[in-house]
Structure 1
Amino acid sequence: MVVRGRKNRRRIDQTAVRAAAVGFAARAARFLGVLLALGALAVGAAWGTRHLRAWLFTSPTFAIEQFAFEGIEHAEEAELIRLGGIRPGDNIFEADLALAERAMAAHPWVEQATIDRVYPRKLKVQIVEHQPAALTDLGGLYYVNPSGKAFKRLVPGESADLPILRGVGREEYSAAPEDGEALFKEALDAMALYREAGLEPRAEVSEIGIDKLEGLTFFLGDDAVAVKLGQGELEKKFTRLGQLFDELSRRGARAEVIRLDNRTRPGWVAVQLAEAAQRRGQ
């Protein structure tokens, strides 16, 4: 009876082994099937990506047809397109926008250029131009922007109706452009404060003299009235200048030279009247 029990257990063990083997084979087959499917997908994806890329970079669907410019006032679109090196018909994906932006920014009027793709066939070009705030003589008249940069030489036909900054020569500016720009910016910032004080309608600034030691001198109006500002406390000085304008107007007098640069007594104002200058000249 003991032997019969052992025979039953051996028959059960063999059945379990065969079932386990069959299960393992089935799982292995499924795993292999998944691997083959993934491999097929990878091959298909690679093939599809390669052909998709080829289509994107060669299809006429993505040939550039239009440049949409914004922000242009002085520069010309055709010249900027030429500088950018991107031509109508070029593929929109292959266009090197960063290179084109740098090239367009080399135009004398352009401070910054930004280009964006508008699919499928357009490039949007945003231009920020230099804004001329004054002129300066650097061996010829140059436009100066509010940051003090002399960015373009004046050519016939361009407006010269701007204040002129004097005191920084061509050699000095070429040797140290940053120093020259800082001096120009100081003068332009002073002119901005003059406008904020409401003085420009009464006497426009026609010229600004720049002196590293003595400071700034404004020349006002057609008579070129000299206003020696010196250095510092410009808001207070312009307040006193406005009061002086009122007094001169009340008296019907004209100034030749106005001095607001007394370092010992900063609150003092000295005025040389035009009539006195004329009498001395007789």
Structure 2
Amino acid sequence: MGLFNNNPRANTATARKQNRRVQQARPRPVPAPAPVARKPAVAAGVKGVRVNRRVDAPRAGAKPAVQGPRVGLRQMVAAVPRVGARGRRFFSLAARLAIALTLAWGVLLAVQSGYQYVTTSARFEAKSLVFQATPHVPVDRLQALLGLEPGTNILAVDTDALQAKIAAEPWVKRASVQRSLPDTLIVEVEEHEAAAALLSGYFYLIDRDGVPFKRLEDGERGELPVITGVDREQLVAGDARAQAAIRRGLTALNEYQSTPRPRLSEVHVDEGGAVALYTAKTGAALRLGRGDVAPKLARFDALRAALGERAEQLAVVHLDLDATPGTPERVVASFLDPAAEAAVLARGAGAQKPVAKDIVEAPGAKEQGPVAPAPAKGKPGKGKKKKAATGNKFASGIPKYD
């Protein structure tokens, strides 16, 4: 047979066999697996952040982790889109309030713990007392008023209560209690200074401001003069007239005591404000009347200088006589001793200047005016001797005790 067979059927079968061999030799195509989508390490929604694919690439067979930036309070609030602007503001305020309450609670606990420590520590135990004793509040009396038990913590002491307790003492005008850490109390006390005694139903001690601060007890008066003539009902009611009478009496008393003069036992103030002073030794009455007392006491000083030793025999001296313009000032006086009165009258009768019948000029008192007795009916000085007030009455006639 030749190389080529002219039989078409044979050629077709041969071609089929050859095609089968070629098909068997060629490999069959295998479909490639679907590519795995890689997730970026950084959220795609964040702008301006570059992704390092080599570093942030996920491991084989492992799910890549997503790392985002740190989210603050504002981002958390902004991440709630459904509540709106009002909801976000409310959430922000609620978060801030919670933080503030937490901090306040912590501070409160710290303060409570610190207070508990300092109020129970032995380091702050009250051990020392600094106090300058006063005449009527000695140290033992002050300790009794304080009433501090051993071991009392100085920070647990109520200084206001102790201060009020000390100030309630009759003689105490003002009190102060202060702490000096770690263990000392400083107490300052100012007492009333008694200026006179006041008789208004009961006896009281009054200070220089005219304030009655306690009832008079035995041995407390000493040589203090007594102010009389103040109505008790007005005093209890706080009437201004009672206060005015007390101030009037204190003014006359202070002016009288500004210069060495005989000691007084009584200062009487009547309803109209007229003042009468009574000496302690002889009970001599000095009628000052109303108005300024300084010039009237100057007349009394001139009269005493003119009379010399006989001034101790004065019974009543009227210093409230107002002279008419162009005439000398007058002082009318009467004496306890008729002999002293007669001697003064005799000296006045021999004076060169003519004077009135009822006026006698005292020697050495020409600048101050004449001196005359007061020989009126019913008054001492006309042959009668007036004794100093004794018993249970003052020189003004007011009973000493109700």
TM over 0.5: yes
Deviations 1:67-98 (A, max 9, x none): 32235211244444444565453322222222
Residue number in structure 2 paired with 1:144 = 206
Q: 8 Å contact 1:147–1:181 — kept in the other structure?
A: no
Residue correspondence of structure 1 range 16-35 to structure 2 within 5 A: 17-18=48-49, 25=69
CA distance in 2 between counterparts of 1:271 and 1:55 reads 80
**Matched AA of 2:121:** S
TM norm structure 2: 0.55
2:153 is the counterpart of 1:122: no
Deviations 1:28-49 (A, max 9, x none): 59xxxxx9xx999877654432
Residue correspondence of structure 1 range 52-131 to structure 2 within 5 A: 52-70=114-132, 72-84=134-146, 86-131=148-193
Q: 8 Å contact 1:248–1:254 — kept in the other structure?
A: no
CA distance in 2 between counterparts of 1:77 and 1:233 reads 45
CA distance in 1 between counterparts of 2:101 and 2:157 reads 35
CA distance in 1 between counterparts of 2:150 and 2:193 reads 30
Larger radius of gyration: 2
CA distance in 1 between counterparts of 2:123 and 2:313 reads 71
Q: 8 Å contact 1:71–1:126 — kept in the other structure?
A: no
CA distance in 1 between counterparts of 2:221 and 2:267 reads 18
2:264 is the counterpart of 1:216: no
2:292 is the counterpart of 1:233: yes
CA distance in 1 between counterparts of 2:201 and 2:46 reads 106
1:246 alignment partner, one of 300, 305, 314: 305
Q: In 2 relative to 1, CA 78–252 (structure 1 residues): closer, same or farther, beyond 3 Å? A: closer
Q: In 2 relative to 1, CA 205–265 (structure 1 residues): closer, same or farther, beyond 3 Å? A: farther
**Worse overlay, 208-217 or 74-83:** 74-83
1:164 CA displacement: 1.1
Residue number in structure 2 paired with 1:133 = 195
Deviations 1:130-170 (A, max 9, x none): 11111123444322211112222232343422111111244
Q: In 2 relative to 1, CA 263–212 (structure 1 residues): closer, same or farther, beyond 3 Å? A: farther
Q: 8 Å contact 2:245–2:273 — kept in the other structure?
A: no
**Matched AA of 2:235:** Y
Q: 8 Å contact 1:187–1:210 — kept in the other structure?
A: yes
Q: In 2 relative to 1, CA 230–159 (structure 1 residues): closer, same or farther, beyond 3 Å? A: closer
Higher helix share: 1
Higher relative contact order (CA 8 A, sep 6+): 1
CA distance in 2 between counterparts of 1:179 and 1:274 reads 35
2:262 alignment partner, one of 203, 211, 225: 203
> What RMSD over aligned residues (CA atoms) do the two structures have, in Å?
3.5
1:257 alignment partner, one of 316, 330, 351: 316
**Worse overlay, 133-142 or 49-58:** 133-142
Higher strand share: 1
CA distance in 1 between counterparts of 2:187 and 2:154 reads 13
SS of aligned partner of 1:248: helix
CA distance in 2 between counterparts of 1:253 and 1:195 reads 18
Q: In 2 relative to 1, CA 229–279 (structure 1 residues): closer, same or farther, beyond 3 Å? A: closer
1:224 CA displacement: 1.3
2:118 is the counterpart of 1:49: no
Q: In 2 relative to 1, CA 214–40 (structure 1 residues): closer, same or farther, beyond 3 Å? A: closer
Q: 8 Å contact 1:142–1:154 — kept in the other structure?
A: yes
The gaps in structure 2 that reach 5 residues or longer are 1-44, 51-67, 74-95, 342-379, 386-402
Deviations 1:208-231 (A, max 9, x none): 011121511111240011111112
SS of aligned partner of 2:185: strand
State, as a whole percentage, how many aligned pairs show the same letter: 27
Residue correspondences, number? 259
Q: 8 Å contact 1:137–1:165 — kept in the other structure?
A: yes
